[in-house]
């Protein structure tokens, strides 16, 4: 009987040694997830250099399909989106995975986008940083937005400092409440794609530094 596979050897810099054959990794358990033309994303070709620059991506590429799918569903609550990204593993680098996520996002059918947006929660800055009067205004604006468009307000704040988040959320709510539903749907879908990119990047960072 052959011996069980040994752990993946590590290099002097703490990264997986890609001269050794990769083994399957299990991702941390995810919360419950928030179907079916094929995505027009070419299956990535495995090369000697695949994912060497990103240990978290290596774990994602080699994890069981169910674990990878659960991780993705925490980033965007659409089953087909997550399944297609899993099926097109391995990705040679993070940019390739994010590009595939973008294309999958553009490929969402209207009802899939509806489900993904319905699973989102409204954007609020950290509660401790929000003055009571601003928090009251924020809640009222969120309620007005959800009543008008039927889903939570989503916005990417990645390019702003934390102390700018409150102003950006309030300004975004006020501006976007003036949109008609079709116009706002386009804006919300774009903001969701940006959020998904951020979430995938953060998730892979957690896999690298658990």
What's the whole-number average pLDDT of the chain?
A: 79
N- to C-terminal Cα separation, the chain: 34
Nearest of 43, 52, 42, 67 to residue 20 by alpha carbon? 52
Contact between 31 and 74 under an 8 Å Cβ cutoff? The reply is yes
Q: Which of 83, 21, 13, 101 is nearest to 58 (CA)?
A: 21
**Span 157-191, pLDDT tens digits:** 988 988 899 999 999 999 999 999 999 999 999 99
**Does CATH number 1.10.3330.10 belong to domain 55-115?**
yes
The closest of 108, 128, 101 to 200, measured between CA atoms, is: 101
Q: pLDDT at residue 94 above 70?
A: yes
Interval 9-48: pLDDT, tens? 333 333 333 333 344 444 544 433 332 332 333 333 343 4
Task: Quickly tell me which residue has 């079916």 as its tokens.
Answer: 36
Return d(Cα 166, Cα 142) in angstroms, integer: 13
Domain ranges across the chain: 55-115, 121-178
At 71, give phi and psi (nearest 5°): -60, -45
* Contact call for residues 57 and 204 (beta carbons, < 8 A): yes
Task: For the full predicted model, state whether its pTM sits above 0.75.
Answer: no
């Amino acid at each position: 009987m052959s011996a069980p596979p040994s752990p993946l050897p590590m290099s002097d810099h703490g990264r997986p040694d890609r001269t050794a054959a990769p083994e399957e990794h299990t991702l941390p358990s995810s919360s419950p997830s928030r179907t079916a033309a094929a995505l027009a994303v070419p299956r990535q070709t495995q090369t000697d250099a695949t994912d060497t620059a990103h240990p978290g991506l290596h774990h994602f590429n080699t994890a069981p399909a169910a674990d990878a799918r659960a991780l993705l569903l925490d980033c965007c609550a659409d089953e087909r989106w997550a399944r297609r990204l899993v099926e097109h593993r391995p990705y040679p680098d993070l940019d390739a995975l994010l590009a595939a996520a973008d294309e999958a996002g553009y490929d969402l059918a209207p009802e899939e986008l509806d489900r993904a947006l319905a699973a989102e929660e409204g954007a609020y800055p950290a509660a401790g940083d929000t003055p009571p009067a601003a928090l009251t205004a924020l809640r009222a604006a969120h309620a007005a937005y959800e009543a008008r468009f039927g889903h939570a307000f989503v916005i990417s704040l990645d390019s702003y400092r934390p102390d700018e988040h409150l102003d950006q959320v309030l300004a975004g709510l006020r501006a976007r409440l003036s949109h008609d539903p079709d116009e706002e749907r386009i804006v919300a879908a774009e903001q969701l794609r940006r959020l998904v990119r951020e979430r995938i990047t953060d998730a892979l960072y957690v896999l690298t530094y658990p």
